[in-house]
Amino acid sequence: MSGLAHFLDGLRCSACGLLNALWLDTVRGLVECQGCGQSALLVPEIGECE
């Protein structure tokens, strides 16, 4: 499982609520949790200003 992976700081898993356990798989373009193994697509919610 060697490849491009970046840990995401300050993000919390929406499934198990574990903090700093998410890492970004740049190859597949998804985020996976190291705690529960839950994977989800990375949804850009940044810049949501209303």
CA distance 3 to 44: 23
The distance of closest approach from Cβ of residue 23 to Zn ion in the complex, given in angstroms and rounded to an integer, is: 11
Residue with Cβ nearer Zn ion (29 or 32): 32
The distance of closest approach from Cβ of residue 46 to Zn ion in the complex, given in angstroms and rounded to an integer, is: 21
Binding of residue 16 to Zn ion (CB under 5 A): yes
Please report the beta strands in 1-50, taking only residues with DSSP state E, as ranges in sequence order. 5-7, 22-25, 30-33, 39-41
Which parts of this chain interact with Zn ion (CB under 5 A)? 13, 15-16, 18, 33, 35-36, 38
